[in-house]
Chain A
Amino acid sequence: MKQGRYEICLSGSGGQGIILAALVLAEAAGILEGMEVCQSQSYGPEARGGASKADVIISDEPIDYPKVLQPDLLLSMNQEACDTYFQYLKPEGLLVVDSSLVHQIPTNRVVAIPFTQIARKDLGKEGVANMVALGAVGVLSQIISPQSLEDALIRRAPKGSEDINRRALHAGIKEAQAINLKELPPFITSEEEEL
Chain B
Amino acid sequence: MVERVLLKGNIAIAKGAIAAGCRYYFGYPITPQNDIPEYLSSELPKVGGTFIQAESEVASINMVLGASAAGARVMTSSSGPGISLMQEGMSYMAGSELPGLIVNVMRVGPGLGGIAPTQGDYFQATKGGGHGDYFNIVLAPASVQEMYDLAIKAFELSDKYRNPAMILCDAILGQMKEPVALEEAEEVTLEAKPWALDGSKGRKPQFLKTLYLSDGEQEAHNLELKEKYDRIREEEALFEGKGLGDCEIVVVAFGTVSRIVKTAIQMARKEGIKIGMIRPITLFPFPASIIRETAKKIPRIMVVEMNTGQMLEDVKLSIENGVKLGFYGRPGGGIPTPEEILKEIKVMLDEEGF
Contacts and interface: CB of A to CB of B under 8 A. Distances in A.
Interface of A: 23, 26-27, 30-31, 34, 36-41, 63-67, 69
Q: Name which of A27, A36, A67 has the most chain B CB atoms within 10 A of its CB.
A: A67
Contact-residue bracket for chain B: 10 to 19
B74 interface: no
A30 B175 contact: no
A69 B337 contact: yes
A31 B172 contact: no
B6 A67 contact: no
Which among A23, A36, A40, A63 has the greatest number of chain B C-beta atoms within 10 A? A40
Contacts of B338: 65
B208 interface: no
A30 B179 contact: yes
Contacts of A26: 6, 177
Interface of B: 4-6, 172, 175-179, 256, 259-260, 262-263, 266, 335, 337-338
30 contacts: A23-B6, A30-B178, A31-B4, A31-B6, A31-B179, A34-B4, A36-B179, A37-B6, A37-B177, A37-B178, A37-B179, A38-B176, A39-B6, A39-B176, A39-B177, A39-B178, A40-B177, A41-B175, A63-B178, A64-B260, A64-B262, A64-B263, A65-B262, A65-B263, A65-B338, A66-B172, A66-B176, A66-B256, A66-B259, A69-B337
Contacts of B6: 23, 26-27, 30-31, 37, 39
A23 B176 CA distance: 11
Given A23-B177, A31-B4, A65-B259, 19 more contacts: A23-B6, A26-B6, A27-B6, A30-B179, A36-B179, A38-B177, A38-B178, A39-B6, A39-B177, A40-B172, A40-B177, A41-B175, A65-B262, A65-B263, A65-B338, A66-B176, A66-B259, A67-B335, A69-B337
A66 to B, nearest CB: 6
Contacts of B172: 40, 66-67
Nearest to A56: B177
A41 B6 CA distance: 15
A23 to B, nearest CB: 7
Contacts of A40: 172, 175-177
A182 B337 CA distance: 33
A19 B178 CA distance: 14
B189 to A, nearest CB: 31
B181 to A, nearest CB: 11
A38 B263 CA distance: 15
Contacts of A65: 259-260, 262-263, 338
B31 to A, nearest CB: 10
Contacts of A37: 6, 177-179
Contacts of A38: 176-178
Nearest to B144: A38
Contacts of A41: 175
Contacts of B263: 64-65
A34 B2 CA distance: 14
